[in-house]
C-alpha cells in the first residue's frame, strides 16, 4: 500500500501547557502533546521525524536563519501528520498562528 500526502497548510491550536520544555530550553519549538484542528482533538503518540527549513534574513545581510521547524508525527487516530512551528510570527499576523498542520498522509486509492 502506498501513501500520498495531502497538503493542508492550516493553523492548529496546540494543547496549552503541553510543550516539550527541554526543546524550548535549547531555543527550539517544543512539540506539544496534542492539538486541535477543524474542531477535532489529536494526541501526538510518536515523533517520527523532525527537520528545519532555513530562509534568508529579512535585513538583506545574506545570512540565513531557521524560520520553520517541521515535525512528522503519528497521532492517536493512526494518521501521520506533518506539523510546523514558525520561529517568529511576522508583523501583522495573529500571534496564535505559530503552529500549522502542513500535510496529512493517507493511503492512496489504488
Split into its structural domains, the chain has a count of: 1
Domain that holds residue 87: 3-107
Reported as a pLDDT band with limits 50, 70 and 90, residue 1 is very low
Reported as a pLDDT band with limits 50, 70 and 90, residue 87 is confident
Cell matching residue 22: 527541554
* pTM of the predicted protein model: 0.77
SS3 22: helix
Cβ(62)–Cβ(54) below 8 Å: no
SS3 23: helix
Report pLDDT for 5: 85
SS3 97: coil
pLDDT per residue as tens digits for the range 19-70: 777 777 777 788 999 999 999 999 999 999 999 886 666 666 766 556 799 9
The C-alpha atoms of residue 71 and residue 78 are separated, in whole angstroms, by 16
Reported as a pLDDT band with limits 50, 70 and 90, residue 83 is very high
Amino acid at each position: 500500500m502506498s501513501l500520498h500526502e495531502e497538503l493542508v497548510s492550516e493553523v492548529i491550536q496546540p494543547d496549552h501547557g503541553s510543550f516539550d520544555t527541554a526543546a524550548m530550553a535549547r531555543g527550539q519549538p517544543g512539540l506539544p502533546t496534542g492539538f486541535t484542528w477543524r474542531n477535532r482533538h489529536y494526541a501526538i503518540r510518536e515523533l517520527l521525524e523532525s527537520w528545519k527549513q532555513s530562509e534568508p534574513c529579512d535585513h538583506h545581510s545574506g545570512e540565513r536563519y531557521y524560520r520553520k521547524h517541521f515535525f512528522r508525527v503519528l497521532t492517536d487516530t493512526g494518521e501521520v501528520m506533518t506539523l510546523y512551528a514558525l520561529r517568529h510570527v511576522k508583523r501583522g499576523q495573529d500571534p496564535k498562528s505559530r503552529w500549522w498542520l502542513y500535510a496529512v498522509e493517507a493511503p492512496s486509492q489504488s
